[in-house]
Amino acid sequence: MTTISHWIDGATRTASGDATQPVHNPATGEVIAQLELGTVADVDVAVASAAAAFATWSQFSLSKRSTVLFRFRELLVANTHELALLVSREHGKVVSDAKGEIGRGLEVVEFACGLAQLLKGEYSEQAATGIDVFSVREPLGVVAGITPFNFPVMVPLWMAPMAIACGNAFILKPSERDPSAALFLADLWKQAGLPDGVFSVVQGDKTVVDALLHHPDVAAVSFVGSTPIARYIHATASARGKRVQALGGAKNHGVVLADADLDDAVDHLTAAAFGAAGERCMSLSVAVVEDSVADILVAKLAAKARAVKVTAGDQDGADMGPVITAAAKERIEGLIASAEAEGATVVVDGRGISVPGYEGGFFVGPTIVDHVNAEHTVYVEEVFGPVLDIVRVRDLAEAIEVINANPYGNGTAIFTASGEAARTFRRSVKVGMVGVNVPIPVPVAWHSFGGWKDSLFGESHVYGPDGVRFYTRGKVTTQRWPHREAERTAASFHFSADSQK
């Protein structure tokens, strides 16, 4: 059986401890590998290697850094299919969806290739007589990324290329559920010519996370995952003086107004709710529908949901694969049962689905729950599975109230033919990312990704301009070069702008 280990100082490295954890194929339920769990000692070795590499890498010219990034980009393109198969095998998502994930991560790599433009400072000549002032942005040092199971390629690519292009050394702690993609990326970085130690992978659980959060030589931590863990990481790392960007959970609403193209809305809601088995922080898990068209919309959604092909992600024609673990399946089915018990209507029930040839897999079928309200457990909790709640409202104003009352503020969307309604919605919702007739409004790489409220802890969003600011710090220099001895003036003992004019 395959053993999955760390990547430190440019090579695979066996863990210093004996603890392991099984890695499953979610489509079959079989154990396909054993993951070596890291220790505090492993983190110490990785940080020491990264710190040494930073001393050299940070002095590389921007041109040389960009050359490595361009090579990495080409290798990522060339290996997309193989990497997507690996993701599908350990995560369960459909291969085409895995390729889409890689493509969105590739956008950030391409943005990072041109980072020299964004690292340019500002210069003010003759700010005062004989005095020039200029600013630069410098890398932080060793930075860490802690990433979730649902996007084992895309989320690391939101972080590492930005950090590395800015001149930092990056340590990745991937999810224990699908750890192999991280090692695949590490090998591509090495092939691209990245110096050993600039990109490292330490596998593990909370022990590794805490070691990174407490290590004095880790300057910043990036995280994507659940809200309770995001809150913990932000509090723990911030208390130790580290920079933190911690993205938490979501409960994303898709509003459907009566004037919307209902067939178009149904197509997009179905894909956004059930794609990747609903295991996306940007999934539309709640459809907020105007009463006047709710019955029609629910009937159309039910027909679409029943037509979704559920099977292993590497099978031809697959629309949706399994969820990540048996425990996730049990939890999702429990939430569906709670909705039924609390008075909601299960219109399409994905519990107990059996996929021929994959009877041991962790499958939950597409599920639609109608007449949901804010008190239902299935609405309160982040399901992170293929479950679409239907909340009925009188009008746009009530829809906005429903969204703004929710503690999460990650993403939302509206389906409408009215520009006025769309503008009102966009300006009124307390959510970080908004789509207008776009179901999953993940920003392109030259903007930044991040939510509001309980979906983000810390000020910084990921990638884009926010990513540049997060992985660098500003330095301002005020300089004066007197030409001759006669031009020297006496230094002032008081703080005054006049002394520099």
Pairing status of strand 408-409 against strand 31-36: unpaired
Sheet holding 131-139, edge to edge: 122-128, 131-139, 472-480
Given 281, 286, 293, 369, which residue is catalytic? 281
Among candidate residues 398, 396, 337, 399, the one with its CA nearest the CA of residue 369 = 337
Query: In a 3-state reduction of DSSP, which class is residue 22?
Result: strand
Q: 116 φ, ψ to 5°?
A: -55, -35
Secondary structure, 3-state, 127-157: EECCEEEEEEEEECCEEEEECCCCCCCHHHH
Give per-residue burial for 353-372: e unless 16+ CB within 10 Å, then b: bebeebebbbbbbbbbbbbb
In the annotation, is 166 catalytic? Answer: no
Query: In a 3-state reduction of DSSP, which class is residue 48?
Result: helix
Cα separation, 149 vs 175, whole angstroms: 5
Among candidate residues 436, 349, 443, the one with its CA nearest the CA of residue 396 = 436
Contacts 24+ apart (CB under 8 A), 130-134: 130/480, 130/481, 130/482, 130/487, 131/478, 131/479, 131/480, 131/500, 132/478, 132/479, 132/480, 133/476, 133/477, 133/478, 133/479, 134/476, 134/477, 134/479
Q: 332 φ, ψ to 5°?
A: -65, -45
Distance set, CA 139 to CA 43, 136, 207, 247 (Å) = 21, 10, 27, 22
Q: Are 433 and 441 in contact (CB under 8 A)?
A: yes
Which active-site residues does the annotation give? 281
